[in-house]
Structure 1
Amino acid sequence: MIVKVSTTAYDDQKPGTSGLRKRVKVFQQKGYTENFIQAIMESIPAEGATLVVGGDGRYYSKDAINIIIKIAAGNKVSKLIIGQNGILSTPAASNLIRKRKATGGILLTASHNPGGPKYDFGIKYNIGNGGPAPEAVTEKIFAVTKSITEYKMVDVPEIDLSTVGITKHNDFQVEVVDSIVDYVQLMKEIFDFSAIKAFLTANPDFTVLFDAMHAVTGPYAKRIFVEELGLPESSIINFVPKEDFNAGHPDPNLTYAHELVELVEKNNISFGAASDGDGDRNMIIGKGTFVNPSDSVAIIAANAQVIPYFAKTGVKGLARSMPTSSAIDLVAKAKGFKIYEVPTGWKFFGNLMDANQLSICGEESFGTGSDHIREKDGLWAVLAWLSIVAHANSVKPGTSLQDVLNQHYSVYGRNYFSRYDFEEVDGIGAGKMMDLLRTLSTSSTFVGSQLGDYTVALCDDFSYVDPIDSSVSKNQGLRVIFTDGSRIVFRLSGTGSQGATIRLYVEKYSKDETDKTTQDAIQDLIAIALHISRLKEFTGRETPTVIT
């Protein structure tokens, strides 16, 4: 029996680029989660729908799943496909939506944000292609949340999420599935596991260490690296998912994955990697080596032919988010591939993929992926790198991770690139800083001016017209581009749950000098960026929270 429950609308449920993210205590407010789930149901063809449900297992996930089950039944959804114990990495969920031809999916994750009772939770809707909902859908959801007066529920008996199987309640069905098996099958179709395993077996001195950061990829990594590729269990750490990520910050960068960084240096690990809360981001490192995410996607693109999937399908095109360095552009130019520059947000890549225009893409925020799904994919990137290193060693035994980087730089030059994150700054001050930068973008005298050794060639607020659906995305980040191709970019991030995060991106290209450290190479541009933005004046901050 469907019960209609009266509710009061909230005015703060606008989904960002990756859904709705708030502190757990916000979602625990009376009717808050229920309102948002009902808004999703009213914004999609819910009656008769099949929806995939799962997430990174963070605190409040089980409560949210129980709410989703009852509201889905109340809105006459036909079937829910739920990952065992409520667990599904974001890439695995995208694959499952596509494989099962589901209407869409509800993903419970705040990605790389901390978890636990005092921290973050998130809900996002993915459409039938497996990718994040486009703006037309998220705007519709937001409109419903502002006017909602009731939500619909059915008192479905509690479902045992720990047991794989099907439970029926009248015309409503819940199928609990193995969270891992379909994803591992997909990876085995893309990569040559036997070749990777043969390389690892024949080269025991080439050591691997993967850090799951007590997040969702732990069980996936154990299945792939230990059971499939034959590595010892000691090759993976922090692989048991925990609701609070063991009080850690599940963001795979040099700051938050410090345990991995320290172990790689201390134990001379050849290949280290980490993934984030929901499994869509990655970091690749080795002893004395850090693979910048912008370089990572460029090198994967340059070596795509060694991956069976691309050897079969070919490379249809390459793409990067606007803040990401133009290293991949150089690969595209050299190999004759189309290249796209899009706003931050994986949905823009998805449009190009659905139109058969894009194969490999990436974001500087440690997100890399391809058209095998419609989300970025951390473990896919790790396997791509292992494939590249294995192939390089088949050509020249003893090739290290750093050797792969150096070889790439010798061909394409080096795009020195870094991102400075100023987290949880005052939102009003951050807004004033961005307003100042916008005045520069409209100034008739700024373009052509000299800043240190650099001449300003372009200053704008990046705007994108989607070549597939003609949608327009404005105000995507303030860019200052110099005549030598160097760049400074400022963005306010939409992925946090508290205050504002200013992201400053700096890029400098060199064909001749590729052996400097990144920070040494870009310090003059950092000084220029802080000067023109007056960041310290507006925010009181001059030291970033994270440098990547």
Structure 2
Amino acid sequence: MINELAGKQAPKEILEEIDALLKSYYTNKPDAKEQTQKVTFGTSGHRGSSTKSSFNENHILAITQALCEYRKNAGITGVMHIGIDTHALSTPAQITALQVFLANEVACKIAKKEEYTPTPVLSFTILESNKNTDILNDGVVITPSHNPPSDGGFKYNMPNGGPADTDVTSLIENRANQILQNDLVDVKLISKDEIFNSSFLEVCDFITPYVKALDTIIDMDIIKEANLKIGVDPLGGSGLEVYKKIQEIYGIKLDIVNEKIDPTFSFMSCDHDGKIRMDCSSKYAMASLIKLAKEYDIAFANDPDFDRHGIVTKSVGLMNPNHYLSVVIWYLFSSRNWGEDLGIGKTLVSSSMIDKVVNSLDKKLYEVPVGFKWFVDGLYKGTLAFGGEESAGASFLRKDGSVWSTDKDGIILNLLAAEMTSKLKRDPGEIYQEFEEEFGKSYYRRVDAPASFEQKAKLKNLSVEDITSKTLANEEIENIYTNASGNNASIGGLKVTTKNGWFAARPSGTEDIYKIYAESFINEEHLELLIKEAQALVSKSIEN
């Protein structure tokens, strides 16, 4: 059901009350016994809202103290790099985290006041800081990604630059909840007034070194020489200064259509459900940039922490993330002189068009569960050339095959669209249309359905034997997976495939819903049937 506000500028009456949000951050005290108020690390850290008592000062105090203890036990003694995005709760959460880190005598680096740090910039910085040293450095990104303005998020990135795996986050999560239950008695703390007088704190420039290194991964010269008309919408996010620095260092003309930083994100077009959500893969949230598509040779946007990309072309408007990732893989292996044995990573809910492109390149596909963390090791070690997920997040190697970032990087994916348009004289939308002529047309959709905590737990633990049907959407079922084919890791749900289609179902880590992803290479009617039968199969399995 599409809300009547979808694609329209957010009206004043739905804007977040920032003062109330900030007050709740400090005054609301979470009940550590209440499931919805506990520390919970999903695929991208702990997220919540202060008004719902799921992201408050006490959460950050507990998480940060748990993280200090983890670092000590793991022998991580170097610098903790801390980045924030433009959500209202990010700045107070950084202050809280610094109070704890500095009290624990953890050396910290942050950007200067009123500057923000994109997730990929932090990942890049961690990797650079760990070159030619035996001391391990790591980082935290305080962001709820594309979530609404009411939300906050806290994500830990390991010394390999990528988001911490579940074996680490579960330790931090469990210890943080223990600290909450013990009324924070184990938290070491300095006052806010002491923060900027601490000898353990350094204020630095994260952005310039990142931008200066961009020519090692993107052909910045060809973009400048092509003199494309490029439109950029940072969507009020943390990377506005990155684009300004690109203009300064490389002389590339970028038309930044929106330079506003506003914690209410009042300039946004509402998403499909009428909420403000800075989702650069949503045609509703991206409505204002899509309207300008014909004015530019290529245009792009990012979410608030800049780990996601949104590509707008003259040929098709906003590209479906699956479509763009297919083009990216083809282009990278057509333009980079990488080794023969490099793999290509995708999440199991991403389009099978990627499989078809990878097969045509005669490359190895590495399919994993949802979560970018599954690509970290391969990108870090240089065994994966590319890792991407259907939610518009990806990263890839530098031109020489060395690691760039081990977290999602929406900046390089946007710039790559400008590079390929400059070099090929065709935009990515035109290239994808050629794929459809060669491989067939993909019909892809994700739908959400309500599910209780108990039902989500059942879905997470389904086995192959729980699916007794032999057919799906009038085709014989070929495979049923509860573990990903690439790394044999648990899906936390299941995937069912046929000759011309598939569906995957998994519970949400943050909402009372489960998600069904489905794709058909026949037609829209076949897709509808896939979704209908998938919902019936899942409902039967989790309600018994």
**Global fold match (TM > 0.5):** yes
8 Å CA contact 2:139–2:157 kept in 1: the answer is yes
Secondary structure at 2:356 match in 1: helix
Q: Structure 1 158/54 Cα, relative in aligned 2: closer, same or farther at 3 Å?
A: farther
Alignment of 1:120 with 2:135, yes or no, is no
Match of 2:7 in 1: none
Shift in Å at residue 315 of structure 1? 7.1
Shift in Å at residue 333 of structure 1? 2.4
Within 2, Cα distance between the matches of 1:312 and 1:432?
Answer: 42
Q: Structure 1 351/400 Cα, relative in aligned 2: closer, same or farther at 3 Å?
A: closer
Match of 1:37 in 2: 64
Within 1, Cα distance between the matches of 2:492 and 2:539?
Answer: 23
1:296-315 to 2 correspondences below 5 Å: 296-305=324-333, 310-311=336-337
Match of 2:14 in 1: none
Q: Which one-letter code corresponds to 1:442 in the other structure?
A: E
Q: Which one-letter code corresponds to 1:486 in the other structure?
A: G
Alignment of 1:57 with 2:86, yes or no, is yes
Q: Structure 1 40/86 Cα, relative in aligned 2: closer, same or farther at 3 Å?
A: farther
Match of 1:365 in 2: 391
Match of 1:259 in 2: 288
Match of 2:162 in 1: 131
Q: Deviations over 1:338-367 (max 9, x none)?
A: 210011111110122233310112111111
Shift in Å at residue 230 of structure 1? 3.3
Alignment of 1:507 with 2:503, yes or no, is no
Within 2, Cα distance between the matches of 1:211 and 1:415?
Answer: 30
Shift in Å at residue 321 of structure 1? 0.5
Within 1, Cα distance between the matches of 2:350 and 2:128?
Answer: 30
1:83-482 to 2 correspondences below 5 Å: 84-85=113-114, 87-101=116-130, 103-115=137-149, 119-148=150-179, 149=182, 150-155=186-191, 157=193, 169=198, 172-200=199-227, 207-224=229-246, 228-231=250-253, 235-246=255-266, 248-252=276-280, 253-264=282-293, 267-289=294-316, 290-305=318-333, 310-311=336-337, 316-371=342-397, 372-393=404-425, 399-411=426-438, 413-414=439-440, 416-422=442-448, 425-428=450-453, 431=456, 434=459, 438=462, 441-442=464-465, 445-447=468-470, 449=471, 451-452=473-474, 454-463=475-484, 466=487, 473-482=489-498
Shift in Å at residue 380 of structure 1? 0.6
Name the structure with the higher strand share. 1
Within 2, Cα distance between the matches of 1:222 and 1:408?
Answer: 34
Structure 1 residues not aligned, in runs of 5+: 1-6, 160-166, 201-205, 394-398, 467-471, 511-520, 539-548
Q: Structure 1 51/400 Cα, relative in aligned 2: closer, same or farther at 3 Å?
A: closer
Secondary structure at 1:152 match in 2: coil
Within 1, Cα distance between the matches of 2:80 and 2:140?
Answer: 7
Match of 1:203 in 2: none
Within 2, Cα distance between the matches of 1:77 and 1:95?
Answer: 20
8 Å CA contact 2:300–2:414 kept in 1: the answer is yes
Secondary structure at 1:66 match in 2: helix
Structure 1 length as normaliser, TM-score? 0.79
Within 1, Cα distance between the matches of 2:30 and 2:459?
Answer: 34
Match of 2:272 in 1: none
Q: Structure 1 357/28 Cα, relative in aligned 2: closer, same or farther at 3 Å?
A: closer
Within 2, Cα distance between the matches of 1:24 and 1:197?
Answer: 44
Match of 1:486 in 2: 501
Q: Structure 1 73/420 Cα, relative in aligned 2: closer, same or farther at 3 Å?
A: same
Q: Deviations over 1:7-61 (max 9, x none)?
A: 9982511211100001123266462321111111111228843100012121122
Among residues 105, 127, 142, which one is paired with 1:76 in the alignment? 105
8 Å CA contact 2:358–2:364 kept in 1: the answer is yes
Q: Deviations over 1:403-452 (max 9, x none)?
A: 322334445x14514232438x45359639948x948x4257513x3633
Q: Which one-letter code corresponds to 1:41 in the other structure?
A: C
Structure 2 length as normaliser, TM-score? 0.80
Q: Structure 1 193/282 Cα, relative in aligned 2: closer, same or farther at 3 Å?
A: same
Match of 2:8 in 1: none
Match of 2:4 in 1: none
Secondary structure at 2:448 match in 1: strand
What is the count of residue pairs matched by the alignment? 479
Within 1, Cα distance between the matches of 2:241 and 2:445?
Answer: 31
Q: Deviations over 1:95-150 (max 9, x none)?
A: 111112252111100001011xxx10011111001100111111111221232232
8 Å CA contact 2:420–2:428 kept in 1: the answer is no
Within 2, Cα distance between the matches of 1:362 and 1:245?
Answer: 27
8 Å CA contact 2:116–2:239 kept in 1: the answer is no
How much is the aligned-residue C-alpha RMSD, in angstroms?
A: 3.0
Q: Deviations over 1:347-403 (max 9, x none)?
A: 11012223331011211111121141011111111111111111112xxxxx34443
Shift in Å at residue 175 of structure 1? 1.6
Structure 2 residues not aligned, in runs of 5+: 1-28, 131-135, 269-275, 398-403
Secondary structure at 1:299 match in 2: helix
Within 1, Cα distance between the matches of 2:534 and 2:385?
Answer: 37
Q: Which one-letter code corresponds to 1:293 in the other structure?
A: P
Secondary structure at 1:36 match in 2: helix
Secondary structure at 1:376 match in 2: coil
8 Å CA contact 1:84–1:177 kept in 2: the answer is no
